[in-house]
Structure 1
Amino acid sequence: MKITSSKPPYGVYTPLVTFFHEDESIDFAAVESHVRRMAKAGVAGLVLQGSNGEAPHLDHEERQEMITRTRLTLDSLGYEQIKLIVGCGAPSVRETLRYVAEAKAAGADFALVLPPAYWAPAMTAAVVESFFSAVAEASELPFLIYNFPTVASGIDISSDAIVRLGKEHPGTIVGCKLTCGNLGKLQRIWSSLPEDSFAAFAGKSDFMLPGLVGGSNGVIAALANVVPKVHVQLLNLWSEGKLEEGRKLQTKLSNADGALQKVGVAGVKAVVSYFFGYGSGKARRPLGTTSVQTLSEEILGPIAEVVELGKVAV
């Protein structure tokens, strides 16, 4: 299927967490409160059903309802311009394409696709590259390649492969999210593909500013669930050429992100609930539940510092 699409707009993207009730059903009221806070903070888009959204724990119907409700919430608040990138990765081409079709029908703008990782020993570089080509040939949405070895059996997609795929499928493969943290890879991809049609994203707050220097199209970062305004502020400082101020703010984000990475997905939700009054630290088993009361000051302190910054960020 031939798609001609522009890349996702430049900006901050929040990989949205999914809140659950105690019985593990989705807490849509909390999700909608979260979407509202993200939109008001000035994000360019939301990433649904990524690793932070517990994608493997959601069934097809839940995924569709999450997309539909998120789109309706944004539109009802006048934020029609905010884009939705939806995780659609699966072990097979067939299942991935089903997720893509369902995401499109529910209101997604872009898909985000992990490499297949179940049969890890069989997933050679050539097999992984052929997987993305096969998805691109039939996808109903433009999509980003998601490189996150931690959740993909250690599979790390090379810059050469991403560049080849971007050149072979322009308008369909329109970007990548690099949670791997390889800034050299980001730089190589940015310099090898047209910046106006391919978006390479740094995938963590920890290296947001270095990523921007290397050509990142903004950032997709878990910490944006907590302090979206601070990420927007750093983006603005970079755009205005205020590098020294940006470095100081990046240090605070790196410290907070380092702390947040220690608490897992449930911990991200617990932190959001503690500081902003909605949702809880409940995840679907086997991830369990986290409470802020169990977190040390070493973890909570750096996060609290950027939360205070977010109250005054413009």
Structure 2
Amino acid sequence: MTVSAPSSPSPAAPTATPASAEPRFRGLWIALVTPFLGDGSVDHIALAALTARMRSAGVSGLVACGSTGEAAALSKAEQLQVLDTVLQAAHGLPVVMGMSGYHLGQTVEQVQALAAYPPLAGVLVPAPHYIRPSQEGLLHWFNAMADASPAPVIVYDIPYRTGAVLATDTLLSLARHPRIVAIKDCGGDMAKTQALIADGRLAVLTGEDAQIFSTVALGGAGAIAASAHWQTERFVELVRLLEAGHLPQARTLWQGLLPWVQACFAEPNPAPLKAVLAHAGWMRNVLRAPMMPASQALAERLRGLMAAGELGERSA
């Protein structure tokens, strides 16, 4: 497939103000795990039930086939089947589809194929892994994806997975594209985060769960979180308190959640989460190699935190 050069947005387009960041990408979004059966195939029944639980907990939206969903271990057909299940179980709750690759033409085709599905809230696109292109190459990559996408694009800035660092100026240039509307921020650069929030054209959603409090308190739009699969209502309330400016209450809630967040990432994600959700009876504790289940020590630590959280919810 030949990919044409990405179009450039009109220079006459008005400059956005900080208040104009895409309103649909706000609040707490869940980066869904992908449940598996004992034989390693996708457990669509458990996935539908998980989607329904997250919907009833009041989250703003869901992300299917992100890194938490072990998308790299799923075939392209499996990824689309996961999307089908999540869309059906979401019952209108916004759904974002994760997309990744390093072959420009093939990845563009994957993005274009999403036009055959019910309307998506967005497409989550990281930089091409392994390639490590220049900033000019990154501009070309994301503009090509946005030109092809039937849905708004969320830039996934996660250099520790892709090997590519998106500079602040590059992200500000991408914000000029009418379909690039948000960023999942895992860049680890708070100065860049604050610059994007101040610019206001991209909705800044932290993808680092430990930075939920700081990002939203600074004016970010919200979070795409993994650890919020459990105690989901508390995470939803945390973001609501921060958005309303109720910092003392939010700080107290966050201090109770932080040990949980830290434990969920003590070993490679999503192994700790799957141990938690398996203990709750929501799915099997099965991952696809080379991902391995959480260690017994961490699983016991997580079970202790689960019990403490449940007690806290009952006494609240």
TM-score, with length taken from structure 1? 0.86
CA distance in 2, matches of 1:7, 1:56: 30
Relative distance call for 1:204 and 1:302 in structure 2 (3 A) is: farther
- Residue in 1 aligned with 2:308? 305
Q: How much has 1:307 moved relative to structure 2?
A: 4.7
- Residue in 1 aligned with 2:196? 189
- Residue in 1 aligned with 2:158? 148
Q: Deviations over 1:47-80 (max 9, x none)?
A: 11111001111112111111111111122xxxx2
Q: Letter of the aligned partner of 1:119 in structure 2?
A: I
Q: Letter of the aligned partner of 1:50 in structure 2?
A: G
Among 160, 169, 174, the alignment partner of 2:169 is 160
CA distance in 2, matches of 1:149, 1:300: 31
CA distance in 2, matches of 1:296, 1:57: 23
263-272 vs 13-22, which moves further: 263-272
Structure 2, unpaired ranges of 5+: 1-5, 10-20
Q: Deviations over 1:143-194 (max 9, x none)?
A: 11001122112x2212221111102x02x10100012343322211121133
CA distance in 2, matches of 1:309, 1:103: 42
Kindly indicate whether residue 212 of structure 2 is the aligned counterpart of residue 208 of structure 1. Answer: yes
Q: How much has 1:298 moved relative to structure 2?
A: 4.6
Percent identity of paired positions between Structure 1 and Structure 2: 27
Q: Letter of the aligned partner of 2:187 in structure 1?
A: C
Q: Letter of the aligned partner of 1:251 in structure 2?
A: Q
1:295 is paired with a residue whose SS is: helix
CA distance in 1, matches of 2:106, 2:169: 26
Matches within 5 A, 1:286-305: 286-290=290-294, 293-295=296-298, 297-305=300-308
2:175 is paired with a residue whose SS is: helix
CA distance in 1, matches of 2:77, 2:310: 34
TM-score, with length taken from structure 2? 0.86
- Residue in 1 aligned with 2:43? 27
Q: How much has 1:311 moved relative to structure 2?
A: 5.8
Structure 1, unpaired ranges of 5+: none
CA distance in 1, matches of 2:42, 2:62: 18
Q: Letter of the aligned partner of 2:191 in structure 1?
A: G
CA distance in 2, matches of 1:310, 1:18: 26
CA distance in 2, matches of 1:310, 1:156: 40
Q: How much has 1:297 moved relative to structure 2?
A: 4.9
- Residue in 2 aligned with 1:220? 224
